[in-house]
Amino acid sequence: MSDYQRPLRLAMVGGGKDAFIGAVHRHAAALDGRYQLVAGALSSTPERSKASGAALGLPAERSYGTWEELLASEKGREDGAEVISIVTPNHMHFPVALAAVQAGFHVICDKPLVHTLAQAHELQAAAEQTQSVFAVTYNYSGYPLVRQAREMVRGGQLGTVRKVIAEYHQGWLAAGSEGKQADWRTDPARSGPAGALGDIGTHAEQLISFVTGLEMAAVAADLTHFVAGRALDDDASMLLRFEGGAKGILTVSQIEIGRENDLRLSVFGTKGSLSWRQEDPNMLVYDQLDAPRQLLTRGGPGLGAAATAATRLPAGHPEAFIEAFANIYSDVADDIWARQRGENIETLYPTLQDGVQGVAFVEKVLESAGMDGMWAKF
């Protein structure tokens, strides 16, 4: 990581009372001391927004009723926010992010990026014009052993990749009456055109891309909404073809009773394979052709530079979800500080391009599903 500088001033849009992911973002931003939360527009109504700001100890004058007020006021302050963290439901990502980058802020946005590929490209053009740093919080790429897997695959230790299997299993939407967090995720107006596909399928897609570097060439998809009356998919199965000939399987579901947050990735090459599971994130299984199995552990021996840099505690002291989020936040801070010094550094955080790629992935999956599973080419 880069030399430490003063904490970056952070403002948050969304993430107020009862918002699970907002608290995660705040803990992650604070973990390494690289950010100071200075302002917020934390809820969809001015009353709730100001109440949430007060509960977090924000000054009254910087606890805004709307995100528009936040951007306008913080832009005009000498000590104004430099980074905007967007943790709203999906339908607000585009207007807030676009206005933020147009005003010259750096942005950290939750996933999926936006509803449509046209929005994604407009946002990308705006960020390029203002040179804003823009991250999308595909947080699983922040896990140390995911970064170890990336280093091993891209370093050729598995040989040529032949097959990739990504699975993301949840059961919390099995009944159809799950409350506030489910309401917006199953509402096309707020969630966008995809349900489980957008909510967790984009995580699996980004994990494949991050670890392997493979580019998808085509997808054949089957989407289902099992819960009666649900407008968006809650279960999806996909076959993948990659440039260069590798094949893949990607399955996601939010109706599998008994499954909690079961994300898994397996990569199979000509010389070996790797397997990682999010619910057991401090272990990476490495199998080589005609050799004994190896179990790599977070903080343990034999790890590369990327995994080591993303690790805070000695082996045997578990690190997981919030620490992975914190790695994304810290990587972004390092990049911003480097740019302030006029330097370019190599970073591993998911960028705006990863977000655009996720939106393109969703659109192609929906295209294939609309053709009864026929192959849709990228």
The span from the first CA to the last CA of the chain, in angstroms, equals 35
Q: Which amino acid is at 275?
A: S
pLDDT single digits (tens) 65-118 = 999 999 999 999 999 999 999 999 999 999 999 999 999 999 999 999 999 999
Q: What is the pLDDT of residues 198-222, one digit of tens each?
A: 999 999 999 999 999 999 999 999 9
Q: How far is CA 364 from CA 195, 209, 231, 260, in A?
A: 14, 16, 19, 27
Name the 3-class secondary structure at 114.
coil
- Say how far apart CA 320 and CA 276 lie, in whole Å: 13
Instruction: Give the contacts of 128 (CB within 8 A, at least 6 positions apart).
Output: none
- Residue 95 CB neighbour total at 10 angstroms: 15
State yes or no: cis peptide before 112, omega within 30 of 0.
Answer: yes
Which pLDDT belongs to residue 11? 98
Q: The tokens of 103 are what?
A: 């005003």
Is the peptide bond between 89 and the residue preceding it cis, with omega within 30 degrees of 0? Answer: no
Q: At residue 197, what are phi and psi to the nearest 5 degrees?
A: -60, -45
36-65 tens-digit pLDDT: 999 999 998 999 999 999 999 999 999 999
- Which backbone phi and psi does 55 adopt, to 5 degrees? -65, -30
Average pLDDT, the chain: 96
* 181 has pLDDT over 90: no
Which among 105, 97, 154 has a CA at the least distance from the CA of 348?
Answer: 154
Q: For 136-163, what is the mean pLDDT?
A: 98
Q: Provide the β-strand partners of residue 9.
A: 36
**Longest CA–CA separation in the chain, Å:** 65
Asked whether 222 and 239 are in contact (CB, 8 A), the reply is no
pLDDT-derived band at 3, boundaries 50, 70, 90 = low
Contact yes or no for 127/134 (Cβ under 8 A): yes
176: confidence class by pLDDT, cuts 50, 70, 90: confident
Give start and end residues of each alpha helix (H) in 213-351. 305-309, 321-340
Given the DSSP bridges, would you call strands 8-14 and 35-41 parallel, antiparallel or unpaired? parallel
What tokens were used for 241? 């073809």
DSSP tag of 198:
I
Q: What whole-number percentage of the chain has pLDDT above 90?
A: 96
2 pLDDT above the threshold of 50? no
Q: Which domains does the chain have, with CATH numbers?
A: 8-132 (3.40.50.720), 141-315+355-371 (3.30.360.10)
Per-residue confidence (pLDDT) for residue 1, from 0 to 100:
42
pLDDT above 80 (res 18) = no
Q: From residue 323, how far is each of 76, 154, 312, 329 by CA, in Å? A: 33, 24, 8, 10
> In angstroms, rounded to a whole number, what is the distance separating the alpha carbons of residues 265 and 263?
7
Give me the helix-helix angle, 117-130 and 93-102, nearest 10°. Answer: 20
Banded pLDDT at 301 (limits 50, 70, 90): very high
Residue 242: closest CA among 218, 222, 220, 266: 218
**CA dist., res. 220 & res. 130, Å (int):** 37
Full DSSP string of 324-373: HHHHHHHHHHHHHHHHHTT------S-BHHHHHHHHHHHHHHHHHHHTTT
Determine the average pLDDT of the residues in 112-136.
98
Q: What is the pLDDT of residues 244-292, one digit of tens each?
A: 999 999 999 999 999 999 999 999 999 999 999 999 999 999 999 999 9
| pLDDT tens for each residue of 326-339 | 999 999 999 999 99
C-alpha span between 59 and 48 (Å, rounded)? 15
Average pLDDT of span 225-248: 97
- Which amino acid is located at 6 in the chain? R
pLDDT at 178: 72
Q: What average pLDDT does range 292-311 have in this prediction?
A: 97
21: exposed, middle or buried (Cβ count in 10 Å: 0-12, 13-18, 19+): middle
Q: What is the mean pLDDT of residues 215-240?
A: 97
Helix (H, G, I), strand (E, B) or coil at 109: strand
The span from the CA of 297 to the CA of 228, in Å, is: 43
